[in-house]
Amino acid sequence: MKKEKIYKEIIKKALDLHVHVGPEVLPRKYTAEALVAAEKGRLGGACLKSHFFPTTPFIKELKSLPKNLRLIGSITLNNSVGGLNPEAVKSAAALSEGPIMVWFPTISAKNFLAKSEYEIRPEWVKGTNYQPRRSAEINGISILKNGKLTERTKAILRVIKKQDLILATGHVSWKEARELIIKANKMNIRRMVVTHPIYELIDMSTEIQAELAGLGAVIEMCYSMFSIDKIGIEKIVSQIKTVGPENFILSSDVGQIASDSPSLSLEKFMKLLSAKGISESDLYRMMVTNPARLIGT
């Protein structure tokens, strides 16, 4: 019981930098307003994510926010916002007083589409007006051409640098993510996240993760990799211990209709990790200290 109380106190300070919200094509458990109502007094903050729309307008329209709950906006560079579109990033960032997260392509990434039959699985949008498209019908986005970053990718990096935003690698391949972080490091971009590299469609080795951490990137580990993608907790713990908890952030990556709340997801994640030897101090570091350092609080 004592541990559960400690976990809840940590979560009250935690910044969950990967929470899906609606309205969106995919049915979601929360709008921004509903998330605030559900997590007031339970969670320190969240970065709101949509695969289709910038989330900064969702935050802007809120009438008020609880004092101890911070919301961070984002944009995901999928086809719905014009892909690698610098103007879309500028517009999304203009609505935020602090840095927003800029996810490189996820469901529009060439890497994702090459390994998935559908852009969005039909069962995920059952009962909606959205017509799922097969991956072969879609022009996937690659950030590399002939092994080098494209000019559009470099343009996005210049916006991120100028406005001091947070780069997140999305669902591009691990090779693309590596080139992206190397270039961002050379440009002195200081806020960088390697998005759930354990995800089977990315499958980045711990050696590459450690290399990118050495260049200043933070490695993300998500509860959804266990709860949805069924990756064993032993593998998750092994990667954290190998690369080092000082290089990780823990996120929930929830918001699906059937998922638990972010705070409950993080609590379950903490219990699983603790049972496999991750200390309370390292859990605090990955959930509170490292995310706060990343977003500048």
C-alpha span between 197 and 209 (Å, rounded): 8
Domain that holds residue 87: 2-295
C-alpha span between 104 and 169 (Å, rounded): 5
Angle ∠(154,189,155) on CA atoms, nearest 5: 15
Give the start-end residues of each E strand in the chain: 15-20, 45-49, 70-72, 74-76, 101-103, 144-145, 148-149, 166-168, 192-194, 218-222, 248-251
| Residue 216 Ramachandran class (φ > 0 left, ψ -120 to 50 alpha, else beta) | left
Reading the block at residue 192, the tokens are 């960088």
* pTM of the shown model: 0.96
CATH (domain of 12)? 3.20.20.140
Query: How does pLDDT run across 164-208, given as a tens digit for each residue?
Result: 999 999 999 999 999 999 999 999 999 999 999 999 999 999 999
Q: Which helix (H) or strand (E) holds 181?
A: helix 174-186
pLDDT of the chain, 297 residues: tens digit per residue: 588 888 999 999 999 999 999 999 999 999 999 999 999 999 999 999 999 999 999 999 998 888 899 999 999 999 999 999 999 999 999 999 899 999 999 999 999 999 999 999 898 888 888 888 999 999 999 999 999 999 999 999 999 999 999 999 999 999 999 999 999 999 999 999 999 999 999 999 999 999 999 999 999 999 999 999 999 999 999 999 999 999 999 999 999 999 999 999 999 999 999 999 999 999 999 999 999 999 986
Q: What per-residue confidence (pLDDT) applies to 124?
A: 87
The per-residue b/e assignment along 225-238, b for 16 or more CB within 10 angstroms, e otherwise, is bbbeeebeeeebbe
The arrangement of strands across the sheet holding 248-251 comes to 74-76, 101-103, 166-168, 192-194, 218-222, 248-251
3-state DSSP: the chain helix, strand, coil percent, rounded to 5? 45, 15, 40
Query: How does pLDDT run across 89-103, given as a tens digit for each residue?
Result: 999 999 998 999 999
C-alpha span between 205 and 66 (Å, rounded): 40
Q: How many domains does the chain have?
A: 1
In single-letter form, the type of residue at position 244 comes to G
